[in-house]
Amino acid sequence: MNITRLALDAMGGDSAPEIVIKGADAAKAKNPSLEFVFVGDAAQIKPFLSRSNNLKNASIVQADDKVESDENVSQAVRKGKNTSMWKAIEEVKEGRCDAVVSAGNTGALMAMSKLQLRPMEGVTRPAIATFLPTAQRQVCMLDLGANIECDAENLVQFGIMGAAFSRSILDIQTPSIGLLNVGEEDQKGHNYLREAADILSDPSNEMNYQGFVEGTDITKGAVDVVVTDGFTGNVALKTAEGTAILVTDLLKKAFKESLLTRIAYLLARAALMRMRKRLDPRVHNGAVFLGLNGIAVKSHGGTDAIGYASAINVAASLVEHGFMPDVQKALKKYTSQNQAENARKEA
């Protein structure tokens, strides 16, 4: 059995270390090939481990300090090396673990991961990616906020990394890629979108590029990977979350209106629960910081054990499906293709 070793920032998240350990316990129950290193305050971690079902002998790496969720990034990085977040990432950097998961401060996790793991060869800008529910299979969207301003080359690389992410998580051979824009016509949007479209649609790059997609196409599942800049992606993700919350809140209110609607709710309960599960943000928990020499997964700070287990599963899938060699190969192929193309143009 191939063992997948994950470093968990045991002190990151609103209910750490409890949900970190409970989430790991649940993940281990389903996937016995997982092994965890809990990084944080041993005195706080041990009682939860001893009460766990599957983690009685898990390793602990002591860290005396932690990054606060509201801490400013430069401050967090300065206090750095004694924090559970820094030391958890270090486990990956030093090759002792295959991936790191943290529910802590997103900005600090990005900064510390970038400092320690460094961008992969050929990557100008690492990006944050996650999966969203759609009418079809899930859709991968990136960047979700790591890069406020992007150029065409950044977007092309996001497409390559997003496609590799989809291959690992959803097991799709050649995921289709779309560029998020304000219309499907070629002349729409920012100049860098048209430049990126030219590169992505170049047949020699062998990418399954499907053209521009609009906001409505994200949840339709029109493509497997939606590529956009970090500003637009962040707004789109949060707008989708907000809209889903609005609709489900109105639905809850509707079912509470009268005795009849309460009975209706009971009758439809199982079906509604299945629907809710499909939209459950906990199931889709686990944003990945793509493009580094190592796998760093961010869990929602306010998630519960089920949500944390989902983030662990994302990290484990990336390791087990060989995401790192896959994306390295794809980037290398694109880079050499690109160099050949440029050489040809200059000749």
The count of chain residues that interact with its own copies, using the rule CB under 8 A, is 58
Other beta carbons less than 10 A from residue 52's beta carbon: 17
Residue from 12, 93, 94, 43 nearest 300 by CA: 12
What is the sign, positive or negative, of the torsion defined by CA atoms of 311, 308, 178, 276?
positive
Q: Of 116, 228, 299, 303, which one interacts with its own copies (CB under 8 A)? A: 228
Q: How far apart are CA 33 and CA 126, in angstroms?
A: 29
Q: How far is the CB of 251 from its own copies (least distance, A)?
A: 6
Can residue 1 be called a binding residue for its own copies (CB under 8 A)? no
Q: Of 278, 325, 339, 342, which one interacts with its own copies (CB under 8 A)? A: 278
| Pick 111 or 264: Cβ nearer its own copies | 264
Can residue 3 be called a binding residue for its own copies (CB under 8 A)? no
Can residue 137 be called a binding residue for its own copies (CB under 8 A)? no
Can residue 231 be called a binding residue for its own copies (CB under 8 A)? yes
Token reading at 269: 């309960």
| Piece of 38-46, 223-231, 294-302, 336-344 that binds its own copies (CB under 8 A) | 223-231
Q: How far is the CB of 75 from its own copies (least distance, A)?
A: 13
| Piece of 38-46, 83-91, 238-246, 317-325 that binds its own copies (CB under 8 A) | 238-246
- In order, the DSSP letters of 138-185 are -EEEE-SSS-SS--HHHHHHHHHHHHHHHHHHH--SS--EEEE-S-SS
Q: Are 173 and 208 in contact (CB under 8 A)?
A: no
Tell which positions 142-171 bind its own copies, by CB under 8 A. Answer: 145, 148-149
| Pick 246 or 340: Cβ nearer its own copies | 246
Q: How far is the CB of 215 from its own copies (least distance, A)?
A: 3
In 3-state terms, what secondary structure has residue 89?
helix
Q: How far apart are CA 184 and CA 156, in angstroms?
A: 18
Q: Of 3, 115, 246, 340, which one interacts with its own copies (CB under 8 A)? A: 246
| Helix 18-30 vs helix 42-51: crossing angle, to nearest 10 | 40
Can residue 4 be called a binding residue for its own copies (CB under 8 A)? no
Q: Is omega for the bond preceding 143 within 30 degrees of 0, making it cis?
A: yes
What is the sign, positive or negative, of the torsion defined by CA atoms of 83, 59, 303, 99?
positive
Can residue 29 be called a binding residue for its own copies (CB under 8 A)? no
Residues near its own copies (CB under 8 A) are 133-135, 145, 148-149, 180, 182, 189-190, 214-220, 228, 230-232, 234-251, 253-255, 257-258, 260-261, 263-268, 271-272, 274-275, 278-279
